[in-house]
Structure 1
Amino acid sequence: MIWRSRKVVLALSLSLMPMTAVIAKNNFPDQPIRLLVGYSPGGSVDIVAREYAQQLGRLLKQSVVVENRGGASGTIAAQAVVRAPADGYTLFFTASPTLTVTPAIQKTSFDPVKDFQPVAAVVSYTNVLLVSAQSPYRDVQALAAAAKANPGKLTYGSAGIGSSNHLSGELFADNAGIKLTHVPYKGNAPAQGDLIADRITILFDLNTTAKALVDSGRVRALAVTSAQRNPMFKDVPTMVEAGYPKFVFDGWLGILAPAGTPADVVKTLSDATQKILAEPHFREQMQASGYTLMPGTPKALGERVAREGKQFDDLAERANLRQF
């Protein structure tokens, strides 16, 4: 009887092992989460990522550590995430151009659709077409007319090849049927400096950083690239209103995980993000910084990555922008 009892206990223990293993595996998160950011500390993406990380850690009752892996238009961080275990403990907080623009222009070691599991979008932003205070151009039509009369002589700055302001400049040239000369910089700040000094003709700057320049009177805003007017620039028309119905560009910031991350882990992270977006403090902070909140599903983010990737791939082909 004693032997039989021991056998029963052993059998019960063995039968419970798979379930225990599953429970342990799904007890997410039970260790710190790494949030990789492909941009330098203190920049606009990094600031949002750190606020998000703080809120995510509070909700999940676990540390969320931001790691900056700047360089190569965010692709260094992207590659690190792709190589990480697909367990939800290494996440990618990125601006959209890293996944939708850069692969269309530069050769990357990752596939933005196949190598990532979308988790959630966080906020969207728009670009603002700026000229210096000394510029003779007061509206987009006058600017486009000058560009047509002087092919290649008007210049536009950017934070580098594959950045959102680079592609905004190319979208403008493509939609207006004009030729502009691209002047890439190592970030937005030096491009802003040369715009203020009137050394470049235009800059499609982020609305989050353009506001202070416009308010200071050092630059003028001619148009925004969003589908509707931006609340931060209520008197500034959209590019659609300026006569370019196909010119709409909204960038976004979001979170992705390595492909193959378990569905229950993705759901935990996505559900937590939706709660963060619904919190008044986070919402007010993001809106004050010029962002628009983007609640939604992992599927919706994945569809957007694929759709915008195709859009910019087609543009890169038409405008001969490929670097490979």
Structure 2
Amino acid sequence: MSKFPRRDLLRLSAAAGLPAAWPGQAAAAWPDQPIRLICPFAAGGPTDVAARLVAEALGSQLPQRVVVENRTGSGVVVGTEAVARAPRDGHTLLYNTIAHAVLRALFHNLSFDPVADFRPVALVGTVPMLLMVNRDFPARTLPELVALFRDKPGQFNYGSSGNGGAVHLATELFLRQAGQLRVNHIPYRGSAPAMPDLLNGNLTMFLNVASDGIESVRSGATRGLAVSGDRRLPQLPDVPTFAEAGMPGYEAYTWHMVLAPAGTPAAVVTRLNEAINAVLRSDALQQRFAELSVQPRPGGTPEDAAAWLKAEMEKWEPVVRAAGIVVN
């Protein structure tokens, strides 16, 4: 037991510039105002929709509401920087994706550190990718597509939602693992503008976030050749996984994670993690996530989320460098 009385400890803490709260005191008072969940993606997109579902559900777990704030610019840099510079009190959080894992590789003059300036709180879920081709393209299976690409290097095009995004990364990993295939990259400002070019044949292939491609495959407007998850999509039971189609070991997905500024009290991070896990287990949120092809990942700790982020950075940073990916 300390030989100092409590008032002396508080005075010493104040003199040193340290918080005067006892362990657990910060968590007991938190949250005492609405929580801002910064989403560095445009309103209405799939990441924003998922963030809003999580924020709404968290309102039933916490005494304050959670408000999504869209802060876009320079990819995800503007919104991410805002959270890195925010007070470390648990009232400002980041809702980010795989984009966080490649920030260091894509941007060499960041004003923040994607690792040191953040504390992962919880991995929310993963989103598989769906490989689609134009419906008139002769390849009807993944091996046939790979064979055509191999036989005619540089003669076909693939689309992405932008340089360095999840779609671009997933496609480059596929081409690399399939034998260093050469296919021309056509970046778009988001996934939506790429779909018309896939439909009219200007694009051969689009390895897109599954939720954005399901309806086109269902309707026959495009042909689905493979899904990147470990199981088939319930909406497309006839589309095999990459492993089933002949490419075991290929794993690509985007994912959603909640992060807090580094230095946020550990007790607050733990309480946030517990609240997020609770909403991820709810039938209501799981049903809404299924519509977005988000596969929830309840049960993980903040340490699990940190390990996930570390592994993703180790996986994707070399892909960015090997492919020579640069941002616009």
Q: Normalization by structure 2: what TM-score?
A: 0.89
Which protein shows a greater Rg? Answer: 1
How many pairs were matched up? Answer: 312
Q: What are structure 1's unaligned runs of at least 5 residues?
A: 1-11
Distance 1:14 1:104, change over 3 A: closer
**Match in the other structure for 2:318:** 314
Contact 1:232 1:290 (8 Å CA) reproduced:
no
Contact 1:161 1:184 (8 Å CA) reproduced:
yes
Contact 1:104 1:309 (8 Å CA) reproduced:
no
**Match in the other structure for 2:230:** 227
Distance 1:240 1:71, change over 3 A: farther
**Match in the other structure for 2:272:** 269
Q: What are structure 2's unaligned runs of at least 5 residues?
A: 12-18
Given the alignment, which residue of 192, 195, 199 partners 2:198? Answer: 195
Q: Deviations over 1:136-187 (max 9, x none)?
A: 2211111111111221121111110111110111011101121111110000
**In structure 2, C-alpha distance between the alignment counterparts of 1:273 and 1:25, rounded to whole Å:** 19
- Higher mean C-alpha displacement, 156-165 vs 144-153: 144-153
**Match in the other structure for 1:113:** 115
**Match in the other structure for 1:82:** 84
Q: What secondary structure sits across from 1:222 in the alignment?
A: strand
Q: Deviations over 1:253-307 (max 9, x none)?
A: 1100111111001011101011101111112221233221111111111111111
1:209 aligns with 2:212: yes
Contact 2:106 2:325 (8 Å CA) reproduced:
yes
Distance 1:67 1:171, change over 3 A: same
In structure 1, give the amino acid aligned to 2:290. Answer: Q
How far off is 1:322 after superposition?
5.1
**Match in the other structure for 2:163:** 161
**In structure 2, C-alpha distance between the alignment counterparts of 1:302 and 1:231, rounded to whole Å:** 30
Q: What secondary structure sits across from 1:232 in the alignment?
A: coil
Contact 2:26 2:268 (8 Å CA) reproduced:
no
In structure 2, give the amino acid aligned to 1:207. Answer: A
**Match in the other structure for 2:282:** 279
Given the alignment, which residue of 131, 134, 137 partners 1:135? Answer: 137
**Match in the other structure for 1:9:** none
Match runs of 1:173-188 below 5 Å:
173-177=175-179, 178-188=181-191
In structure 1, give the amino acid aligned to 2:184. Answer: T
- Higher mean C-alpha displacement, 261-270 vs 309-318: 309-318
Distance 1:184 1:20, change over 3 A: closer
Given the alignment, which residue of 59, 75, 82 partners 1:57? Answer: 59
**In structure 1, C-alpha distance between the alignment counterparts of 2:189 and 2:172, rounded to whole Å:** 18
**Match in the other structure for 2:258:** 255
Q: Deviations over 1:103-153 (max 9, x none)?
A: 323335133222210001112110000112222221111111111122112
Contact 1:119 1:266 (8 Å CA) reproduced:
yes
Q: Deviations over 1:214-248 (max 9, x none)?
A: 12221110101123323332211122222222311
How high is the sequence identity, in percent, across the aligned residues?
A: 37
Contact 2:46 2:292 (8 Å CA) reproduced:
no
1:70 aligns with 2:56: no
**Match in the other structure for 2:307:** 303
Q: What secondary structure sits across from 1:112 in the alignment?
A: coil
Distance 1:108 1:183, change over 3 A: farther
Contact 1:126 1:207 (8 Å CA) reproduced:
yes
**In structure 2, C-alpha distance between the alignment counterparts of 1:44 and 1:73, rounded to whole Å:** 15
How far off is 1:44 after superposition?
0.7
Distance 1:264 1:137, change over 3 A: same
Match runs of 1:99-110 below 5 Å:
99-107=100-108, 109=110, 110=112
**In structure 2, C-alpha distance between the alignment counterparts of 1:248 and 1:191, rounded to whole Å:** 23
In structure 1, give the amino acid aligned to 2:252. Answer: F
Q: What secondary structure sits across from 2:226 in the alignment?
A: strand
Contact 1:39 1:46 (8 Å CA) reproduced:
yes
In structure 2, give the amino acid aligned to 1:260. Answer: G
- Higher mean C-alpha displacement, 17-26 vs 140-149: 17-26
**In structure 2, C-alpha distance between the alignment counterparts of 1:273 and 1:118, rounded to whole Å:** 12
**Match in the other structure for 1:92:** 94
How far off is 1:13 after superposition?
10
Contact 1:102 1:162 (8 Å CA) reproduced:
no
How far off is 1:213 after superposition?
1.3
**In structure 1, C-alpha distance between the alignment counterparts of 2:89 and 2:7, rounded to whole Å:** 26
Q: Normalization by structure 1: what TM-score?
A: 0.90
How far off is 1:17 after superposition?
7.1
In structure 1, give the amino acid aligned to 2:255. Answer: W
**In structure 1, C-alpha distance between the alignment counterparts of 2:155 and 2:36, rounded to whole Å:** 46
Distance 1:262 1:139, change over 3 A: same
